[in-house]
Amino acid sequence: MNRHHYCWMLLAVVLLLAGCQNQSDSAARNGSSGEGNEPSEYAAVTNVARQVVEAWQNKNFDALFALTQQEVPEEIRERFQPGGEGYQEMTSEDEFRWRAVRDWDGTFPSVRVHQRMGIIIGKRQRENPDPLSVGPATEMIMVNLVREDGRWKYADMYFPDEEELEFQEYSNRNIVPSGMSKASGDEADPVNLLHVLAGAFRDKDLETIKPLVMRELLEDYQRRVAEAAENSSVDLSPDDHLSMLSSWEGGAHQDLMDWDGEILDSRMLKEAWVTIGGEGDEVYVVELLYLDGRWVFSDVLSPLKQDYEHWGQELAAQ
């Protein structure tokens, strides 16, 4: 092998190694593991959040609208239509959303992901359907669960009709098998949670119910109990306690007590809150939803710091 040929081989090896390093560096910057070029969840979330903020800063609302889900309620769509009230609010100095976007420093101090599930356990005719409504009078009985502290917890009851259910921001349908179910004994199983809750409500076992309820609902229940204690004329019955523990508005516990174990349908939604700033006790976050296999823009919110810290699970920067 002559010296000239050897030098070309050596150069080829150097270029090959450099190319591999560049691919590795690019994967690291994009949050990819390098295997299949699949970005990490952190990278996927922050990439969409960055596009949202930059489009909003540039008042490129066509690009911003393209980052939303394909079918959105009219009040959301109206924000992207020039001349509308919502459109003006998106760039008003009096609107926290515009200030949050305008003053973004280019970093994401925190990213949190939250999961919630809706399990339909029954349906019935509405007692007083709106006489002006042309929609169905049948309502679904849905139990809402959220992931909190690494496990599923009860959040609330919801009673949509079939049309309303289609507009709910849930993806990944039929998460749990439809049909009759039994308690599995597995604490990680959301259906098992429903069986335990239903039995505890029937037994009026408050101590079993409390650890299975999401933190915010439990705190609201405790506040209302304290308020009743301060009012000597109010004497809460066991059913009053059950009512307050089952719903923000109360009165939904009977549906859990009457559940026969049948699952009609189920939905799940994954949400992300990406921090872009804050003011006082509030955190400014871009809210994204995971729908149809991609992260889409939902809103810019301003939760309290204490609520944000307990919401979902922190994603590590990758």
Range of the domain at 255: 115-128+136-267
Asked whether residue 218 is domain-assigned, the answer is yes
What is the tens place of the pLDDT at every residue in 137-177? 788 899 999 988 888 999 998 888 877 776 555 566 767 88
CA–centroid distance for 289 within its chain: 7
What is the tens place of the pLDDT at every residue in 112-131? 998 889 999 999 887 665 66
Six token digits for residue 253:
């516990």
What is the tens place of the pLDDT at every residue in 65-75? 888 876 555 55
At 208, the pLDDT band (50, 70, 90 cuts) reads very high
Asked whether residue 4 is domain-assigned, the answer is no
Asked whether residue 287 is domain-assigned, the answer is no
Please report the pLDDT score of residue 78 as a whole number.
63
Calpha distance 31→25 (Å, rounded): 10
CB 263 within 8 A of CB 119: yes
Calpha distance 234→228 (Å, rounded): 6
Asked whether residue 7 is domain-assigned, the answer is no
Calpha distance 169→185 (Å, rounded): 30
Asked whether residue 204 is domain-assigned, the answer is yes
Calpha distance 198→204 (Å, rounded): 10
Average confidence score pLDDT of the chain: 80
Please report the pLDDT score of residue 109 as a whole number.
94
Q: Is 80 exceeded by the pLDDT of residue 300? A: yes
| Tally of CA atoms within 13 A in the half-sphere of 269 that contains its CB | 17
Six token digits for residue 156:
């609330």
Please report the pLDDT score of residue 159 as a whole number.
86
Calpha distance 258→122 (Å, rounded): 10
Q: Is 80 exceeded by the pLDDT of residue 15? A: no
- Between 4-8, 137-141, 270-274, the lowest mean confidence (pLDDT) is in 4-8
Query: Locate tokens 């009230």: which residue?
Result: 85
Six token digits for residue 264:
């009609």
Q: Is 50 exceeded by the pLDDT of residue 29? A: no
Please report the pLDDT score of residue 85 as a whole number.
65
Number of domains in the chain: 1
